[in-house]
Amino acid sequence: MDRLNNKSVKITSQIVYDTPKQLDIKVKNMIEIRIHGRGGQGNVAAAELLSIAAFKDGKFSQAFPSFGAERVGAPVMAFVRINDKKIRTREDVQNPDYLIVQDSNLIGSVPVLDGLKPDGLILINSEKKPEELQLKTTAKVETIPATEIALEIIGRPIPNAIMIGAFCTITGLVSIDAVQEAIMGKFPGRVGENNVAALERAREIMQKR
Amino acid sequence: MLKQIEGSYAVAETVAKCRPNVISAYPITPQTHIVEELASIVGRGDLDAEYVNVESEFSAASVVLGASAAGARAYSATTSQGLLLMSEVIYCIAGMRLPIVFTIANRAISAPLSIWNDQQDSMALRDAGWIQLHAEDNQEAADLHIQAFKIAEETHLPVMVCMDGFILTHAFEPVDVPDQKEVDSFLPPFRPTNIVDPRWPRGIGLFADPRFYMETRFILHRAMEKSEATIKKVSGDFAKAFGRDSGGFIKTYKLKDADVVVISMGSLVGTIKDLIDQLEEEGKKVGLLQICSYRPFPRKEIYNTLKDKMNIVVVEKSISLGRGGILASDVRWSFPRAEKKDRNISSFIAGLGGRNITKNDLRYMVEKVEKEPVELEFLGLKKELISEKDL
């Protein structure tokens, strides 16, 4: 205060209470991904694996979870950024280019579509066809029955490897080989092998479309 | 080796390479993966250290105090309520001039309970006589630990390496974790000079009556001020040895012709830099002054760097309730009153309890101070949650 207005400058208010909201400022060439799921579906692991794979592909990458709801079943978010240069921004992803939704029931209960770019892409874990979901978005919608595949191949309803496999096949943003390497690095042995098999299945399914 | 790694693990691996003799921590929320991973490293036999699991943060701080007094290189990590519970011991460690290094994963303070990031925890202990270094990203967080042990042992002052909780500790990004050989050649083994030893019985930090106490405070204050030279030297040496600029006293970004200067510290400066680049494309000249060493406070550096800058805005994740921005107060004090210049120093509080700080919030802040100075504003405050009588 003492240093603030020595002479002529007038302070208009003591404390201001509101900040207007606008669309996010995008860093050039930055690719932003938001993952929605429920606690226990491997959302943070999915973000981590994507970022490690992008790193292995020679890109800069950042992954971080949205924290707090570390309970099984609670809605969870995780974020991934990929760019050709060092990533400095730390804010939550506001306007994602890509959405990965690991539980389709989240749509309607949490604002999953919030901020998704009009020309973006949303990949949903669902047995339904994209048009059956009737999403109010101009973004491209893709679906894959990831829980079903996970139960069949991994034996547990953890869809993340399938979702990542489908995502990388559709977008080509991160190489499947790098994701496989990342999975085996994080889960050596049987768990990793099962997840890699699930990833492969997702690739086959998406390539046929 | 450069790898894509979580911040906490990068710090744990780096701390292990600093070869601490004693690590003590209380392993429950609020904690981080840092001490968890260090426990594994010691458990695997990859680090020859005493890992002491204790029943509270107060005990953790007390264990490292005792270990350091006995001549060990000692380390702990904590955050939020854990740091506050340690606070009595934190002051003792500084008063005894023990060169202990702590990682502070900055988080909010109760009540209400919040596990999320801001910087109110380390701010609450800013006056304790600890050096406080703030990391911008996980590379810097890792690198600062190597420097911290060296600074602590050369100045006989404890050091807190502050990194934003969750935003950095739980973020995966590329970090070059140095090799053991590189760390060994930079950081020599700890040679304690002032230890308690049963062969030579004596006490440290025991008792000072009014004839002596004030001098201990004076000496500690001067030691903090003088540590500026060591911090600068060590960060300079680090840059030479490791080929990257990590830490130091202050850093600047696009400051030269800036009409508005933003001052901040911690991970927020990354978002600010991206905003500055965007504004530059739009023809606006905005610069950044980043506080790397918060204690000792870079008062002279700030003045010398910004003496011609008339529009300054401080954005920080902490508040002195009933006073306002803490960093803003420090910055305002950096410019002598006698200077009589028409300088505006605005103060914004942001991101308390993990509230997301977007580039748009920061753009709004910059555009606002272009028009008029702001005494105090809460960025992103939701007015609809506050009743009329609480305004």
pLDDT above 70: percentage of residues in chain B: 99
Out of B242, B267, B299, pick the residue that ends a domain. Answer: B242
Q: Per the CB < 8 Å rule, is B375 touching A64?
A: no
The CA–CA distances, whole Å, from B217 to B169, B225, B247, B377 equal 34, 12, 27, 35
Looking at the complex, does the CB of residue A88 fall below 8 Å from at least one CB of chain B?
yes
- How close does chain B come to A21, measured CA to CA in Å? 7
Which of B271, B346, B354 lies closest to A89 in CB terms?
B271
b/e map of B30-61 (b: 16 or more CB within 10 Å)? bbbbbbebbbbbbeeeebebebbebeebbbbb
Whether the per-residue pLDDT at A96 is higher than 90: the answer is yes
What CATH number does residue B21 fall under? 3.40.50.970
Count of CB contacts below 8 A, A vs B? Answer: 138
Residues in chain A: 209
Number of structural domains (chain B) is 2
Whether the per-residue pLDDT at A4 is higher than 60: the answer is no
Report pLDDT for A68.
67
Out of B191, B213, B242, pick the residue that ends a domain. Answer: B242
Whether the per-residue pLDDT at B373 is higher than 80: the answer is yes
Q: Per the CB < 8 Å rule, is B274 touching A24?
A: no
Helix (H) or strand (E) holding B161: strand B159-164
Same domain for B71 and B208, yes or no, is yes
Q: Across all residues in chain A, what is the average pLDDT?
A: 88
What average pLDDT score do residues A48-52 get? 98
pLDDT above 70: percentage of residues in chain A: 88
Whether the per-residue pLDDT at A11 is higher than 90: the answer is no
Report pLDDT for B372.
96
Residues B92-109: tens digit of each pLDDT: 999 999 999 999 999 999
In a domain, A12, yes or no: no
The CA–CA distances, whole Å, from A189 to A84, A184, B42, B116 equal 32, 7, 24, 35
Give chain B positions within 8 Å (CB) of A91.
271, 356-359
Rounded distance, CA B380 to CA B266, Å? 19
Give chain B positions within 8 Å (CB) of A68.
115-116, 354
Looking at the complex, does the CB of residue B66 fall below 8 Å from at least one CB of chain A?
no
Looking at the complex, does the CB of residue B202 fall below 8 Å from at least one CB of chain A?
no
C-beta separation of B386 from A17 below 8 A: yes
Rounded distance, CA B265 to CA B290, Å? 5
Domain limits for position A79: 31-208
Q: Cis bond leading into A188, ω under 30°?
A: no
Give A139-143 contacts, CB < 8 A, sequence gap 24+. Answer: A139/A99, A142/A166, A142/A170, A142/A206, A143/A104
Structure tokens at B58: 């107060």
What average pLDDT score do residues A51-57 get? 98
Residues B5-19: tens digit of each pLDDT: 999 999 999 999 999
ipTM score:
0.93
Mutate which of B175, B345, B358, B388 to disrupt the A interface (most A C-beta within 10 Å)? B358
Same domain for B195 and B288, yes or no, is no
Least reliable range by pLDDT among A20-34, A187-201, B100-114, B260-274:
A20-34
Domain limits for position B351: 250-390
In a domain, A128, yes or no: yes
What average pLDDT score do residues B343-372 get? 96
What is the pairing mode between strands B159-164 and B101-106?
parallel
Structure tokens at A6: 């020595």
C-beta separation of A172 from A183 below 8 A: no
What is the pairing mode between strands B131-134 and B159-164?
parallel
Rounded distance, CA B213 to CA B208, Å? 5
Looking at the complex, does the CB of residue A187 fall below 8 Å from at least one CB of chain B?
no
Rounded distance, CA A177 to CA A196, Å? 10
> Whole-model pTM?
0.94
Report pLDDT for B150.
98
Whether the per-residue pLDDT at A20 is higher than 60: the answer is no
